[in-house]
Amino acid sequence: AQKVTQAQTEISVVEKEDVTLDCVYETRDTTYYLFWYKQPPSGELVFLIRRNSFDEQNEISGRYSWNFQKSTSSFNFTITASQVVDSAVYFCALTTSNTGNQFYFGTGTSLTVIP
């Protein structure tokens, strides 16, 4: 079975602090993809990043970075120098080669950046 766990339900940080959102996944499939989505107060989920199971390189995009470690089945997301606009709910998701295009989502982490 596939499962995504986001143990942090809510996080609050002061603006300009760094924050890491944790994501742990479970799957027995060897081919899979991991995703992060951002859901601002407007409600629409916005795609942030996709990473496949064969590529463990970390990725950096501006203030955002992602750390993928197969050894710990984790795909963590770090925001550097957080801003108020980063306040949102963040979801980690998983699809696998054996489950077609079903997306398995974590329960989300609500991030509040305090000015």
**Which residue, 1, 64, 70, 62, is CA-closest to 36?**
64
Strands 109-114 and 88-96: antiparallel
Nearer to another protein, 6 or 87 (CB): 6
- Contact residues toward another protein (CB under 8 A) are 6, 9, 31-33, 35, 37, 42-47, 50, 52, 91, 95-97, 100-103, 105-108
| Cβ–Cβ < 8 Å for 104, 3 | yes
- Tokens 């306040």 belong to residue: 87
Write down the least CB distance from residue 1 to another protein, Å.
11
Nearer to another protein, 75 or 91 (CB): 91
DSSP track, 52-66: ETT----EEETTEEE
Q: Which two tokens stand for residue 53?
A: 């199971």
Write down the least CB distance from residue 56 to another protein, Å.
15
Write down the least CB distance from residue 86 to another protein, Å.
19
Nearer to another protein, 80 or 105 (CB): 105
